Structure 1
């Protein structure tokens, strides 16, 4: 390895691979394996991974993305300690504790060691454990970019934000960040007593039930309509509702994968629609990808100040094939609250 390397970094590591795309019910959906420790590039950190979390993107890729020969390593969220740095690294040093969301075009984090571009890495919140920190990166980046870059919200924004699926991983961070980095009033959706309680605890101004007559419930808490929509789920099914409840010139940002989406109905109100995909910067190596480093450092400051909290609700140990299968099952159920994390210890 070039650059600076901590003593004791081995040549091989424990990892969890998925041999083929398919259902979680397959006997070999995940397999424990021994792989070579990745070689960090010039701008890379080599991180000893202490905790990871599972997101819907992990579930989707395990089910449908053909892995490379020999099996693929999934996982994007991670928290751990830097054990080596590439020769061009400027932001971090060996021994730093970090958290980040990785890249879909590189080997994943479900392993003992992981190489990641320093420009998409943040300093781990000092007040959180590795497990608590691992719950935050992907959802924080998605929420922040959706609110700020796509919806254009800031501290001076005044109006009503509707958050669909607010008890999930991303929704939980959208609610918290909307209340801390924007001036929006937050109306969140949830459908079960436990999810309603969770969302209220995150700071939502109002909670409405997305399993019933959502338009009628919205009319009670926002009779004048809403200004922005952050849709984490069922965007195609709810598009007609969005058109109905949004004020003219309102904005929608979505993160799910709807098919057959017809946005023509948005034109009469001059509504705007955009996608948020937090892997766009890392996938295409954009010149501004260091913004994700800055964003995560800002989230860490918010956490350490007490303004934002971790959304972990379940910790599974250790990081192995059986644990990943359990975590994927929880996320795949569609009924999980907050985030599921796997911790080395």
Structure 2
């Protein structure tokens, strides 16, 4: 089968930052689906791995988000059959989705939204899982709760922020403050449903104070090295800060006086460690598909970058590294 991968770490500007190659078709395990991949998307994790994780002796295939059609099922699969259309965010410990065929555990796979094409559907799983787990696992909210409280989202125009705003507004009673720093990103987060927009390049405490709000919940999606002291300052006592990025150092001691909870969200944890609730990701993806099909959630895809190839994915990585992606970029397979 055709695949795209990398053989050495380095900058995206290198001529062979990613390569096209032929790989053996994978064989599904007992709980696996063999999927003919029809669409993928690009996430920050792809860029981080290509730049910093040694690939080993063979080309390493990147890509996590995918949508496609089930071609075969493992002996113990119960939830899917050949011909089913699915979408999912993959497993950090297994080969990626930038290939014609891919195997994935059925417990982290949802049905593809019928209202979306394959590439557009592939723009949602990783970010939706991340956002859902922030709201309902990290913050321990329940659907319909949160009235009278505020959620502050740092980095509202990115992939996770775009769907987190929507899930918070559709499924909870939270007031949402989202940050954006450019006219086009301000317009985007308003479109996603944010109640208030502030600029993360200016004083967060001053802007939050001007709104007269006290966020009990804060999602730090980017810039935690820079913003964490301000997040502690604006957080409501006994509030909760959830982070997804990778600060080199993080001094959480100032959070003690407010008795703040600090947690990380990493959507690959369930599949990496085969947790007993691993199938929660299947269930939430099915719910997201229902919400998309019902028109209660908007698609967060803003660009289709063409057919998957080393060349097109190098361009996709370059755009991702620019830090100016709004929503999600996707590609066809």
> TM over 0.5: same fold?
yes
SS in 1 for 2:257: helix
Q: Summarize deviations over 1:50-85 as a string: whole Å, max 9, x none.
A: 010000000000001111312100000000000110
Q: Summarize deviations over 1:248-267 as a string: whole Å, max 9, x none.
A: 10100000000110100000
After TM superposition, the structure 1 = structure 2 runs for residues 95-114 of structure 1, keeping only pairs within 5 Å, are 95-114=83-102
Q: Of residues 116, 121, 124 in structure 2, which corresponds to 1:136?
A: 124
SS in 2 for 1:247: coil
Q: CA deviation at 1:224?
A: 4.0
Q: Summarize deviations over 1:171-229 as a string: whole Å, max 9, x none.
A: 111101111121111000001000000000001111111111222111122x2421110
SS in 2 for 1:302: helix
> Equivalent residue for 2:231?
242
2:222 paired with 1:229: no
In 1, Cα distance between the equivalents of 2:64 and 2:282? 15
When structure 1 is superposed on structure 2, of 173-182 and 210-219 the one drifting more is 210-219
> Equivalent residue for 1:90?
78
2:281 paired with 1:292: yes
2:202 paired with 1:206: no
Which sections of structure 2, spanning at least 5 residues, go unmatched? none
Whether contact under 8 Å (2:32, 2:103) holds in the other structure is: yes
In 2, Cα distance between the equivalents of 1:316 and 1:68? 28
2:178 paired with 1:168: no
2:243 paired with 1:259: no
Q: Of residues 262, 285, 294 in structure 2, which corresponds to 1:305?
A: 294
In 1, Cα distance between the equivalents of 2:172 and 2:263? 19
SS in 2 for 1:116: strand
In 2, Cα distance between the equivalents of 1:105 and 1:244? 37
2:49 paired with 1:61: yes
> Equivalent residue for 1:150?
138
2:5 paired with 1:21: no
Runs of 4+ in 1 over 6 A off after TM superposition: none
In 2, Cα distance between the equivalents of 1:254 and 1:239? 10
In 2, Cα distance between the equivalents of 1:264 and 1:271? 10
In 2, Cα distance between the equivalents of 1:259 and 1:19? 27
Figure out how many residues of one structure are paired with residues of the other and give that number: 331
In 2, Cα distance between the equivalents of 1:215 and 1:267? 18
Whether contact under 8 Å (2:150, 2:216) holds in the other structure is: yes
> Equivalent residue for 1:325?
314
> Equivalent residue for 1:121?
109
TM-score, normalised on structure 2?
0.98
TM-score, normalised on structure 1?
0.95
> Equivalent residue for 2:180?
190
> Equivalent residue for 1:5?
none
SS in 2 for 1:326: helix
Whether contact under 8 Å (2:306, 2:312) holds in the other structure is: yes
In 1, Cα distance between the equivalents of 2:10 and 2:134? 30
